[in-house]
Structure 1
Amino acid sequence: MAGTHKFLRLRGSARLPVPLRGAVIAIGNFDGVHQGHKAVLQTALAEARKTGRPALVFTFEPHPKAFFKPEEPLYRLTTAAQKAAYFKAMGFDAVIEQPFTAAFAALSAGDFIQSVLQDRLAASAIIAGANFHFGYKRQGTPAFLQQAGRDSGFITVLVAGKKDKTGKFISSSRIRALLESGEIQEAEALLGHPYTVQGEIIRGRALGQQLGFPTANMALPAATKLRYGIYAVCFRTCGKSYQAVASFGRRPTIEAAGKPLLESFIFDFDRDIYGKQAEVLFVGFLRKEEKFAGIKELMAQMRKDVIAARAVLALKALP
């Protein structure tokens, strides 16, 4: 009965409220909550509505790849909070963010079925991608999950991977590669929504303000591999959306080796938002980051960037 309960973000399954036991559960990492993920999630919602049961998402924090290979920082498309917001908007009752610890990684596939899906969740149905593996060393195969469902009395639905119009499977890794190349609109098509980052607005050197282009600055996670460059964006803060042009990069004209920073010049905006939370939705890639001969040349290009961003944003309604 999606929507009946207040949406909950639960750290693990130990304290699942009694009314949410017996739910239909979508299981996966769901980084990006892209079109392929949405096929799994929508299947779960449809089953929950058909059977009159709650609809839950079961995901993992941190991402298993980050746990197994901590030396290789993972470029995440969505934070746990962002994923939860998408699940809530879709109509789920709750998300269970399972702590991916050494103890959990060592859990056998059979123990995961028994201790988590049955004892703690009393799952009525499990919905997962067709290549979903789980348990110690990924020993739990899709076939194992289906047989466990038959043995234990829960429905198992495996959803085939979704392909784009070119016939290629949609995946988080493909989307990451597109973002690294600055192919924003192609990434949006696979995501089914604009690529979005969120964070706190921090103080910079105030150079933009001195130049007549005051910016709202945000430090993105170190693992972010978004292409350095200039973007047309939608900027959200304090419950409102604004058009903006954003620069992501190291500011080579200004600093020799600056840390990567997302700087958004918000159109027709004059408010103090330092310390506020904001979201930046990427609409279009305008150009790569460049080093100019001086401030004068940089400012001339910035004025052109504003015009170009306005032109791109005029073709798309603010989300």
Structure 2
Amino acid sequence: MNGIKTFSSLPYFCRGTVIKGFGRGSKELGIPTANFPESVVDNLPHDVSAGVYYGWGQIGSGPVHKMVMSIGWNPYYNNTKKSMETHLIHKFDKDFYGSELGLVILGYIRPETNFDSLEKLVKAIRTDIEIANHKLNQEDAREFLLHDFFKHPVGQSSTNGTHSSL
């Protein structure tokens, strides 16, 4: 497999209400994240391991944006609960807590890693964003921009049983 990790459950579609997280994304890292409630995290397929992923995301029925997502326990912060923290690669004017976030996770970037400094963590996240941008500019990834999941954003199910909902 040339060192590329694959998952039988990708692409994976999920949707949930954005909740307040730990408050670190914007404040400490300068990289705002949207967090899902435990019910969405708990419904992840078993083969989706802790790590960093890329795909597309949509707030409500708004435009679809590139995203990079951390799934796991964030070892730098010693989290005790698994989380899904999504960074939409777009500048938003305000928070969107309580809004519906729909995602399609398309691919894997790297495993979850611990860092010995905040600066190294931020550098790694910025690299993840660059990789996500590159991957999402490819034709096969861009096809998902037009997926029915994003055309009927709230309360609709997706295909192939790969949809998680609150």
TM-score range, shorter chain: 0.7 to 0.9
| Matched letter for residue 42 of structure 2 | A
Compute the TM-score of the two structures, normalised by the length of structure 1.
Answer: 0.39
| Residues 1:204 and 2:21 are matched in the alignment | yes
For residues 200-247 of structure 1, the C-alpha deviation after alignment (integer angstroms, 9 at most, x for no partner) is 101012211021100011132435332110011101222131111110
Q: Kindly tell me: are residues 237 and 223 of structure 1, through their superposed partners in 2, closer, same or farther at Cα, counting changes over 3 Å?
A: closer
Query: Mapping of 1:76-155 within 5 angstroms?
Result: none
Question: CA–CA distance in 1 between the matches of 2:54 and 2:42?
Answer: 22
For residues 129-162 of structure 1, the C-alpha deviation after alignment (integer angstroms, 9 at most, x for no partner) is xxxxxxxxxxxxxxxxxxxxxxxxxxxxxxxxxx
**Conserved? CA contact 2:41–2:83, under 8 Å:** no
Q: How much has 1:291 moved relative to structure 2?
A: 0.7
Counterparts of 1:187 and 1:209 in 2: how far apart (Å)? Answer: 30
State the partner residue of 1:260.
82
Which structure has the larger Rg over C-alpha atoms? Answer: 1
Work out the CA distance in 1 between the residues paired with 2:98 and 2:107.
26
1:1-319 aligned at under 5 Å gives the runs 183-184=6-7, 186-188=8-10, 194-210=11-27, 211-219=29-37, 220-222=40-42, 224=44, 225=46, 226-239=48-61, 240-255=63-78, 257-270=79-92, 271-315=94-138, 316-317=141-142, 318=145, 319=147
Contact 2:17 2:101 in 1 (8 A): yes
Secondary structure at the aligned position of 1:258 is classed as coil
Letter of the 1:274 partner, please give it: Y
Cα distance, 1:276–1:223 mapped onto 2, change above 3 Å: closer
Instruction: State the 1:272 CA deviation.
Output: 2.0
TM-score by length of 2: 0.73
For residue 222 of structure 1, what is the amino acid of its counterpart?
A: D
Answer whether contact 1:252 1:258 (CA < 8 A) is retained: no
Question: Which structure carries more relative contact order (alpha carbon 8 Å, separation 6+)?
Answer: 2
Return the alpha-carbon distance in structure 1 between the equivalents of residues 137 and 124 of structure 2: 20
Q: Say whether the 8 Å CA contact 2:41–2:82 is kept in structure 1.
A: no
Task: Deviation per CA, 1:177-210: give whole Å up to 9, x if none.
Answer: xxxx9624x544xxxxx31111110101221102
Q: Size of the alignment, in residue pairs?
A: 132
Q: Measure how far apart 1:269 and its partner are.
A: 2.8
SS class of match (1:231)? strand
Q: In structure 2, what residue type is equivalent to 1:286? A: I
Note the aligned Cα RMSD (angstroms): 1.9
1:26-59, Cα deviation, whole Å (9 max, x unpaired):
xxxxxxxxxxxxxxxxxxxxxxxxxxxxxxxxxx
Residue 145 of structure 1 aligns with which residue? none
Structure-1 separation of matches of 2:9 and 2:24 = 32
Unpaired stretches in structure 2, ≥5 consecutive residues: 148-166
Point out the structure with the larger helix share.
Answer: 1
Percent of matched pairs sharing the same residue = 25
Equivalence for 2:159: none
Paired residues of 1:182 and 1:227 also in contact (CA < 8 A): no
Q: Deviations over 1:274-304 (max 9, x none)?
A: 0111111011100000111121110111111
1-structure distance, mates of 2:121, 2:52: 12
Aligned partners of 2:130, 2:95: CA distance in 1, in Å? 24
